[in-house]
């Protein structure tokens, strides 16, 4: 099953400590139904140097969020929206596009090939 959130989408967080924050999806973990959103749900990791030449330190990185906790922001009406699917015919081929259930705008998939 593919998720209705794609890499490159703008989403907003519905629940949890990052509720209300929004950002761009930088990674989709389809098997886990999780997404990584740029600048959201940051966790700090303490890195110990494994070799004497390595520098230890604290790094901040995004932890994945459950896809059910985020909602796509429609690029047209700029509001979090539920999506539907519409089938278009392009050169005689069926192409499924996502649509915003609020304003009906087609939502392009930013990185459909990845
Ligand atoms: Zn919309």
Looking at the domain assignment, is residue 4 inside a domain? Answer: no
Span 73-110, pLDDT tens digits: 999 999 999 999 999 999 999 999 999 999 999 998 87
The CA R_g of the chain, rounded to the nearest whole Å, is 17
**56, 65, 48: which is closest to 12 by C-alpha?**
65
How far lies 33's CA from each of 2, 28, 68, 78, 88, in Å?
9, 8, 8, 24, 26
Provide the domain limits for residue 30.
10-48+58-107
Inside any domain, residue 38:
yes
Q: Which two tokens stand for residue 5?
A: 């959130």
Ligand 1 center to 68 CA (angstroms): 19
Name the pTM for this structure: 0.82
CB 73 within 8 Å of CB 10: yes
pLDDT bin (cut points 50, 70, 90) of residue 53 is confident
Whether 82 maps to a domain, the answer reads yes
Query: How far, in Å, from the CA of 1 to the mean position of ligand 1?
Result: 24
Tokens 């090939």, residue located: 113
Ligand 1 midpoint to CA 50 (Å):
49
Is residue 21 included in any domain, yes or no?
A: yes
Q: Are 22 and 5 in contact (CB under 8 A)?
A: no
- Domain count of the chain? 1
Residue 62 covered by a domain: yes
CATH number at residue 94: 2.30.30.30
């Amino acid at each position: 099953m593919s998720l209705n959130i794609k890499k490159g989408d703008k989403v907003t967080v519905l629940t949890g400590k990052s509720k209300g924050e929004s950002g761009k999806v930088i990674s989709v973990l389809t098997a886990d139904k999780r997404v990584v959103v740029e600048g959201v749900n940051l966790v700090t990791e303490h890195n110990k140097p494994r070799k004497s030449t390595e520098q230890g330190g604290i790094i901040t990185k995004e932890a994945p969020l459950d896809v059910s906790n985020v909602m796509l922001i429609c690029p047209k009406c700029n509001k979090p929206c539920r999506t539907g699917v519409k089938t278009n015919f392009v050169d005689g081929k069926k192409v499924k596009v996502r649509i915003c259930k609020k304003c009906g705008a087609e939502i392009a998939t930013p990185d459909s090939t990845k």
